[in-house]
Amino acid sequence: MNLTAEYQKMRDLGARLSDLTAALAVMQWDLEVMAPPGAAARRAAQIGTLAGIRHEFLLERYRPVVLRLAEVAAADDAKLYFIHRRNILAAAESVEKAAALPSDFVAKSAEVCANAQTVWETAKKNNDFPSFAPYLEAVVELKREQARLYRNAMPGRFADDYSALLDDYEPGMSTAEIDAVFTQLSPALRRLTAAAPPPDKRPLFPVDPDPAAQLKLCRKVLALMGYDFERGRMDVSAHPFTIGFGPEDVRITTRVVSGAPLSSLYSALHEGGHALYEQGFSPVAYGLPEAEACSLSIHESQSRIWENNVGRSLECCQALFDDVAALSPTRLAGYGPEDLFRYVNIVQPSLIRTEADELTYHFHILVRYELERELLSGTLKAGDAREAWQEKYAAYLGVRPGNDAEGVLQDVHWAHGSLGYFPTYTLGSLFAAQFFAYAQAAKPGLNDDIAAGRWNTLTKFLSENIYLHGRIYSSQALCLHVGGEKLNPDYFVRYMESKLKILGGR
């Protein structure tokens, strides 16, 4: 075998596979942002067709080359450079799972989920879960079948169906490990929530800020972060998201929420973190795993580090105070950065995940994680998800949704078919706290730079230590590479303890 020629062939085919992935992403972005309502059913069918074509290309053209190279890479006989070997083995892991799914199943899943998403958007606007319930049931049945296909093709690899789906988003992670994380984290979350200072009831914003002014601030903050508008754009959608078509075109959306004057800002910080990660991939590695996300938890760590570790810090409130004050007709007269810091760090159980504070946020994730497992096992019927959601919110957060939009319909993920995704949000917050601690140790002046608006200090650290590695390492291996240890929830606990001390908590 001519390894150089074969590796180049893998790169070329990988680039074509990435082109097809990008084409699907463009169609998805258009469906969520620009497409007229009447286009939804046809677009769903088109997405299904293209998803099937992409899958056939992966299995028939790309996979044989990857498997031939993987035999050499697995032997570890020094014939390959480290980066080449890691690209090959990471690609082999992906094609192994992909081969478990027939192309017609992939096409059907893509179409069903695209249709479910469109129905979800209308159902959410109308607070009408019953209209969405049959689509949720169809999605859940597809995910059950997907888990069975995975487990039949790879016997012994997954302990349960949920682990098989979780592995799509967090390779190598199991349900048992997620349970262990929550078992360790939950007591600390309850202790810290109880120790948090009471909410400051003073109204910083007597009226909702002008939406155009909010979006202008979002663009300014994205520029501070280093988001390249020549290689991206910001739009408005029902649910904020980031989507990439290669490092040269990574787009984000945010949303303006009545009664939540800084929601758009923090959505932009969050999605901007995702976008910086994808803009930071090496363009010359397009089509290779080193130009793809390591995992969803690492992707989420990059959004949470900007949204929370930076965005909810006292230093950020100092840097942005004048801009935030300009949103209010009172210009926040009588308030200062410390008041803004308290305002954006109120710890209080609430209904909406994306608006939740850093502590109670993880109970929102725990609710979804438990419901997903029940839906997948069949112990919970899709039509009963509304009532189950309300009961779990009452148990974990002490609140009950008043309608479906602030309850079971608030997230788009189940319509997308993303069962197994939600735990990566908690993992991402934990990784974010750990990576931020590493950045502070490596850059002793980081906090001062944030206060002064010199945010490129953090961007440069993340680029060199996270972005450029892509999918060369697993999540745990990347954490080891950056800081010498695997994921350790104690970093998050210490970070929150420090913040609550500044806030005046008990």
CA–CA distance, 473 with 295 (Å, rounded to integer): 10
Residue 444 zone, left/alpha/beta (φ > 0; ψ -120 to 50; rest): alpha
CA–CA distance, 312 with 498 (Å, rounded to integer): 13
Residue 325, CA atoms < 13 Å, CB-side half-sphere? 18
CA–CA distance, 453 with 450 (Å, rounded to integer): 5
CB neighbourhood size of 405 (10 A): 18
Residue by residue, DSSP assigns 9-46 as: HHHHHHHHHHHHHHHHHHHHHHHHHT--GGGHHHHHHH
Residue by residue, DSSP assigns 183-220 as: HHHHHHHHHHHHHSPPP----S-SSPPPHHHHHHHHHH
Question: Cα Rg for the chain, rounded, in angstroms?
Answer: 23
Q: Order the strands of the 242-244 sheet from edge to edge.
A: 234-236, 250-254, 242-244
271 among known catalytic residues: yes
β-pair partners for 260: 257
Question: What's the Cα-to-Cα distance from 11 to each of 15, 60, 98, 287, 294, rounded to whole Å?
Answer: 6, 15, 18, 6, 18
H, E, C per residue of 271-305 = HHHHHHHHHCCCHHHCCCHHHCCCCHHHHHHHHHH
Residue by residue, DSSP assigns 85-116 as: HHHHHHHHHHHHHHTTS-HHHHHHHHHHHHHH
CA–CA distance, 34 with 241 (Å, rounded to integer): 14
Closest CA to 376 of 181, 106, 141, 150: 141
β-pair partners for 252: 234, 242
Q: CA angle at residue 203 from 201 to 209, to 5 degrees?
A: 145
CA–CA distance, 304 with 311 (Å, rounded to integer): 9
Length of the chain: 506
Amino acid found at 83: I
DSSP-derived letter for residue 234 is E
Catalytic residue among 111, 271, 278, 358: 271
* CB-based contacts of 378, cutoff 8 Å, min separation 6: 144
Q: Which residues are catalytic?
A: 271
